[in-house]
Amino acid sequence: MLAAAGGIRPWGSPMFTAFRAEAPTWAALTTCYALFALLTSAAPDAPAWLVYPGLAVVLAFHSSLQHEAIHGHPTRWPPVNEALVALPLSLAYPFRRYRETHLAHHRDARLTDPYDDPESWYLDPEDYEKRPVWMKGLLKANNAALGRMLIGPGLGFVNFVVSEIRLIRAGRREVMLGWALHALGAAPLLLWLGWCGVSPVGYALACYGGLALISLRSFLEHRAEERASERSAIVEDRGPLALLYLNNNLHAVHHAHPEVSWHRLPALYAAHRERFRKLNGGYVFRSYAEVLSRHALKPKEPAAHPMMDRMR
C-alpha cells in the first residue's frame, strides 16, 4: 500500500542497496557470533576436542572480520563497524590499537621497515647483532611457518605490549583509551564465559590457537624488496583457509585496493591476474600447502632486514 500511495520502495533505497552489497559480510558476522555462542554455551557438555579447536577457528575468523571493519566494511560508518567487531573475543589486542597500527602498516612505501611498519617482523641489522644467541635462534625459528605458528603469537604479543607500555608512559592518551575500551569489552565477555562454564585454560589455548591460524596467513605476506609493489604476496588458495582469512591471502590485491570488500577480491584478481603477478614480482604461491611444503621448518629469510641502508 505504501508503494502504491507514495512510491516508497525500501528495497530500492541507497541504504538497502549498500546492505545488499555487503550481504556476505553481514552473513559472515552473523555466522561468527552464532558459532561463538553455540560453542561457548555447549562447552560444559560437548567434547573438549570439538569445542576448543572450534573456538580457535571462530576467533581467527573474528580477527579477519575485524580487519574488514578497519577497511570500512560492512557499513560506511566507522563507529558502527567498530561496534560490530570490537568485542575482544581473542582477549589479546585492543581493536582500536589494531586499527591504528594496521592503517600505519598500509603505508606501502614503508612496508617491512622495522621502525615505520608496525607489523614488520624484520629487525635493524645493528639491533639484530646486539641480540643474544638464544634470541637469534628464537627469531630464526620464528621465520619458519611452524615456528611462526607455535611461538609467533607469544613473541608478537610480548613485543606489542612492551611497545604499548612505552607509548602509555609517553602520555599517549589514545593508547590508554584503546586499552580502557578493551577492558570494558573484556569484562562482559569473561562474565559470559564464566556463566557458560567455559574452561579458562581451554579458552586461553583457543585464543592462542586462533592467533596461530592467523600467523600462518601473515607469515609471508610481506618481504623486503626494492619496489613497494613487490613486497606483498599472493597465495592463490581457494579452500577453507581463504574463507577463514576472508581472501586476505590475495594480499597484494588487498594492498593495491584496500577499499575493496573481501568477497570481491577473487573476481578482481581473476580479472587482472597477470597484471597483479607482474606487479608483485611473481611473489606467488599456489596454496598454503605449498607454503608449508617450502617453509614449514625452513626460514623464509633472515630476521635482519637485508635492505636497511636503503630504508633509512
**pLDDT (tens digit per residue) in 161-213:** 999 999 999 999 999 999 999 999 999 999 999 999 999 999 999 999 999 99
- So what's the pLDDT on residue 3? 47
- So what's the pLDDT on residue 308? 79
Residue 106 has pLDDT above 90, yes or no: yes
143's grid cell: 621465520
DSSP 246: T
- In this structure, the number of other CB atoms found within 10 A of the CB of residue 86 comes to 20
**Residue 110, C-beta contacts closer than 8 angstroms, at least 6 positions apart:** 116, 117, 311
The range of the structural domain enclosing residue 44 comes to 2-311
**Closest-CA residue to 226 (of 103, 111, 122):** 111
Distance CA 249, CA 281 (A): 16
Q: Is 73 helix (H, G, I), strand (E, B) or coil?
A: coil
- In this structure, the number of other CB atoms found within 10 A of the CB of residue 296 comes to 12
Average pLDDT, the chain: 93
**Closest-CA residue to 92 (of 174, 180, 154):** 154
- So what's the pLDDT on residue 309? 72
161's grid cell: 605490549
Instruction: Give pTM, 2 decimals.
Output: 0.93
Domain count, the chain: 1
**Tens digit of each residue's pLDDT (9 = 90 or more) over 42-98:** 999 999 999 999 999 999 999 999 999 999 999 999 999 999 999 999 999 999 999
> What would the mean pLDDT of 112-132 be, rounded to a whole number?
93
- So what's the pLDDT on residue 133? 96
Residue 2 has pLDDT above 90, yes or no: no
Residue 215 has pLDDT above 70, yes or no: yes
pLDDT tier for residue 12 given thresholds of 50, 70 and 90? low
**Residue 288, C-beta contacts closer than 8 angstroms, at least 6 positions apart:** 216, 235, 237, 239, 241, 249
